[in-house]
Amino acid sequence: MEARLVPNPQMPCRPLTFDEDVCQGCNICVDVCRADVMVPNPRKGFPPVVLYPDECWFCGCCVGHCPRPGAITMNHPLGQRVGWKRKESGEFYRVGMKNPPPPYSEPPVGGW
Amino acid sequence: MPDFFDEENPREWAYPIEYGLETRVECDVLVIGGGIAGCHAAIAAARRGTRVAILDKGPIIRSGSGGAGVDHWHAACLNPCSKVTPDDLAEYVQKTPYRQTTEYGNAITCAILARESYDTLLDLERMGVRVRDIDDEFVGSEFRDEKTKLLFAYDYEAKHCIRIQGWNVKPALHRELKRLGVAVYDRVMGTNLLTEGGAPGQRVVGATAVNVRTGRFYVFRARCVILATARPFRLWVFSTELQGQASSFFDPNCTGDGCAMAWNAGAELTLLEQSVPFAGAFRYVPYGTGNAHNSWYACTIVDRNGKEVPWVDRDGRVLQTVAERYRPAPGQRFFLSCPDVPYEYQGPRLIPDLAQRIREGEYQLPLYADLPSMPQDERRVIFGLMLAHEGNTRIPVYATYAAAGFNPSRDMLQASLLPPDGYTWGPWWNSVPVPQWREVGRLVNGGGLVFDWNLRTTLPGLYAAGEQLACGANHAASATTGRYAGRNAADAARKTAQPKASEQQIEAEKNRVYAPVRRSKGLGWKEVQAGLCRIMQDYCGEYRSAPALELGLQWLDSIEEGEYASIWARNPHELMRTLEVGVRLAVGRAIMHASLAREASSEALGFKRLDFPSIDPPEWHKLVTIKTDGEKVVVGSLDCDYPLKPPFASTCEENYRQHCALSL
């Protein structure tokens, strides 16, 4: 167990997280972000640095333009993770819960 | 990577630093703001053979409030199925208070929108946007026209609003800009307008700008300038703590840059006193909770016991089927989608006394959007089309909820838990507004520049489009006014000599812009931003009065010469944010002056004066205008019906014909 001298996080959640094994550091997400929340990683080929997470608008354009599905995830803050009720069973679920139900796989109208 | 955030040993900036370096650009038409209005304006001007430059603080491929998509296209009166005409909408605008506060804007913007909305959609289709059900997924649906394959929203009989698959509308516009050879300046923030001789109130001859990644300075000289930036947002509340910049529905770059530039240059502004309360960062994901409104129209709502909340028509008659929610009432020709329209245009709605019936225990919270009980095609079109293509929904709602296991055929999305009165109006994801937390205007309409039938402002050489127009309205209105302004500006540019800019004005602006990066210490932008928001809340909140507004103006001046004068920026990104604080100081001042100038309260404008409590007295049924003249603020007024009074013709049709810059 360690203790470090570090500041608080800039905001409660991490709006964007990267899977380093999937992301190839192409920086398309950096260039489509309206608020310029990311900068390219000085190490080529690595995920961008999320320098200004507090300026994220949660529009998801970075995810939408990512050529490698799964490389970026957009995460709503905990206070925004809404719930639903399964009609036939009356069970309650929410975004971000432990042991979620299987994903819904139907693509949107017009496809991804 | 903690070393990135080590304030003692910060890393080098991510991009080349070019503070003080200058690029000079000469063009016929300069478009400031590359959102929906700006892109359509630039495309229209370029198609007329003029040299066009467009700049935006963000990346034009996705920037602007419409940058993350659009799912329904309003006022498509000229589509082959529509039973609503441009004259019908013009008549509607004339029946509303102040004639400027509708979801279609005023007589001018509504005339342009109604006549060009469908044509603009066809233009987008040629650019590669899917505006029809070309996969034949909805064959046989009541909202589909089998011949054209168009899908309609809201009123399935009158067919004036089209459901489109618009997630990629901005990339398509961006491609078209490039194809036409428009000079595109991404990440370049306009800082001020250049005027002839550098004097306010004179012809606009260009603009200065700064690159928000490199800090490079730009001087644009143009025969005509189109302001296509948005309304000012986040002026009363600025908190990134709870959900970043998602505390407002509108793009985080929409800080009111155009408003401030116009104010500084001496253009006339109006309706800036109009405002609505909102919930700031306490709202929910847009379109992301159970709802029956807007893109969710007209989803079945049930209470916690599965008891259905009835839908009624405008006369309170309970509707028995889902299909009836998409039909006008008996004897009604068409309905409009906004809830607060005159009786004549009111559409189906959830029972208006829902709050009372929740209080009495008839309906128990929470409520749910019962997608599983909706007919299959309605369920699919709400969740699979609307929530996959509307701005800020494709990834934040569709992809995120689908990955989390939400299945629209089996699951009922919960509506946010609100106090009973919160259910009277939708959309419920907006949560409960806080009275002193405000945004300029209404949801899709608000104050801005005074304009004429050419979309010229009161300054020669300066045009406006989209949300920059006082009462600019929805996505389609931004698109149509954009291209209309683009055509007019291009035609005017051809008749105008290339003007000179004042080197003195350029030098002064350069000094102003770089001041925050020349300081080696000072206050951060967020503190000053939050401080000025507090002034707006306290002195220009729900209730306003002359003494409080005058004191508020004094405090804004005091912040400007005090804290703002010591604001510092450690890189070009922070420079952009510090310049935005300056923008909000200017716009805040304009709003306070506009509020002082209207010496009456108004229900339609959401405007309460403690010292003038009389509501909408007839003598104040006018547009109050404000502009700067040197240090002075000049107050004036315009007839609410100015678009149809001399020097203009008396009908929208005739004015449109004379000013649309098309040979009809």
pLDDT at B6: 67
Size of interface A-B (CB pairs under 8 A): 194
Domains and CATH numbers, chain B: 284-431 (no CATH), 506-623 (1.20.58.100)
Question: Which of A52, A82, A106 to mutate against chain B (most B CBs within 10 Å)?
Answer: A82
Give me the residue from B242, B284, B402 closest to A82, CB to CB: B284
HSE at residue A86, side-chain half, CA atoms within 13 A, is 13
pLDDT at B540: 98
Task: Say if residues B209 and B190 touch (Cβ distance below 8 Å).
Answer: yes
pLDDT at B625: 98
Q: Please, what sign has the CA dihedral across residues B248, B69, B340, B319?
A: negative
pLDDT at B426: 84
Residue with tokens 């809340």: B537
- Considering only CB atoms, which chain B residues are within 8 Å of A106? 384, 402
pLDDT tens sequence across A79-112: 999 999 999 999 999 999 999 999 999 999 999 9
pLDDT at B553: 98
Find the range with the poorest average confidence among B167-176, B468-477, B583-592, B635-644.
Answer: B468-477
pLDDT tens sequence across B5-44: 666 777 899 999 999 999 999 999 999 999 999 999 999 9
pLDDT, averaged across chain B: 96
CA angle B509, B260, B589 (to 5 degrees): 115
Kindly report the nearest CA distance between residue B403 and chain A, in angstroms: 5
Give me the residue from A6, A10, A58 closest to B2, CB to CB: A6
CB contact under 8 A, B245 and A84: no
pLDDT at B445: 84
d(CA B227, CA B165): 28
Question: Which of B4, B238, B406 to mutate against chain A (most A CBs within 10 Å)?
Answer: B406
pLDDT at B566: 96
Alpha helices of B137-188 — where are they, by DSSP H?
A: 169-179
Strand partners, B472: B446
Question: Which of A29, A54, A56, A59 to mutate against chain B (most B CBs within 10 Å)?
Answer: A59
CB contact under 8 A, A82 and B285: yes
pLDDT, averaged across chain A: 95
pLDDT tens sequence across A35-46: 999 999 999 999
CB contact under 8 A, B213 and A36: yes
Q: Does A28 touch chain B (CB under 8 A)?
A: no
> Of B219, B53, B108, B170, which is closest to residue B465 (Cα–Cα)?
B108
Alpha helices of B460-597 — where are they, by DSSP H?
A: 475-494, 503-518, 525-539, 546-561, 572-597
Q: Which residues contact B654 (CB under 8 A, 6 or more apart)?
A: none
CB contact under 8 A, A34 and B389: no
pLDDT at A8: 86
Q: Give the whole-number percent of chain B exceeding pLDDT 90.
A: 92
Q: Please, what sign has the CA dihedral across residues B601, B607, B609, B613?
A: positive
| Cβ-based neighbour number of residue A22 at 10 Å | 13
Q: Does pLDDT of B607 surpass 70?
A: yes
Straight-line distance from the first to the last Cα atom of chain B, in angstroms, rounded to the nearest whole number: 62
d(CA B317, CA B313): 5
Residue with tokens 């550091």: A25
pLDDT tens sequence across B423-478: 998 899 999 999 999 999 987 788 999 999 999 999 999 999 999 999 888 999 99
pLDDT at B4: 57
Kindly report the nearest CA distance between residue B185 and chain A, in angstroms: 13
Q: Please, what sign has the CA dihedral across residues B616, B620, B625, B628?
A: negative
Q: Does pLDDT of B261 surpass 70?
A: yes
CB contact under 8 A, A60 and B396: yes
Straight-line distance from the first to the last Cα atom of chain A, in angstroms, rounded to the nearest whole number: 45
d(CA B304, CA A16): 34
d(CA B104, CA A87): 39
> Of B337, B358, B362, B356, which is closest to residue B348 (Cα–Cα)?
B337
Burial label, B349 (beta-carbon count in 10 A; 0-12, 13-18, 19+): buried
Alpha helices of B302-422 — where are they, by DSSP H?
A: 354-359, 376-379, 387-389, 400-403
Kindly report the nearest CA distance between residue B248 and chain A, in angstroms: 9
DSSP B642: G
Give me the residue from B137, B368, B410 closest to A88, CB to CB: B410
Q: Which amino acid is at B664?
A: L
HSE at residue A5, side-chain half, CA atoms within 13 A, is 3
Give mean pLDDT, residues B46-62: 98
Strand partners, B456: B463
> Of B461, B153, B509, B134, which is closest to residue B297 (Cα–Cα)?
B153
Contact residues, A window 69-98, toward B, CB-based 8 Å cutoff? 74, 76-77, 79-80, 82-88, 93-97
Q: Does pLDDT of B157 surpass 50?
A: yes
Task: Say if residues B207 and B194 touch (Cβ distance below 8 Å).
Answer: yes
- Could you tell me how far CA B14 lies from the centroid of its own chain? 32
| Cβ-based neighbour number of residue A69 at 10 Å | 10
CB contact under 8 A, B243 and A63: no
Q: Which residues contact A27 (CB under 8 A, 6 or more apart)?
A: A40, A48
Q: Does pLDDT of B249 surpass 90?
A: no
Tokens encoding B627: 């502009």
Find the range with the poorest average confidence among A34-43, B4-13, B159-168, B598-607.
Answer: B4-13
Cα→Cα distances B26→B183, B184, B225, B338, B513, Å: 10, 13, 12, 43, 21
- Could you tell me how far CA B183 lies from the centroid of its own chain? 24
Give mean pLDDT, residues B98-102: 90
pLDDT at B11: 82
Q: The complex's ipTM?
A: 0.98
pLDDT at B556: 98
CB contact under 8 A, A56 and B405: no
pLDDT at B5: 61
Tokens encoding B275: 């405002």
pLDDT at B2: 45
Give mean pLDDT, residues B607-634: 97
Structurally, at CATH architecture level, domain A16-78 sits in: 2-Layer Sandwich (3.30)
Tokens encoding B86: 């441009």
Give mean pLDDT, residues B50-75: 97
How sure is the predictor about B259, in pLDDT bands with cuts at 50, 70 and 90? Answer: very high
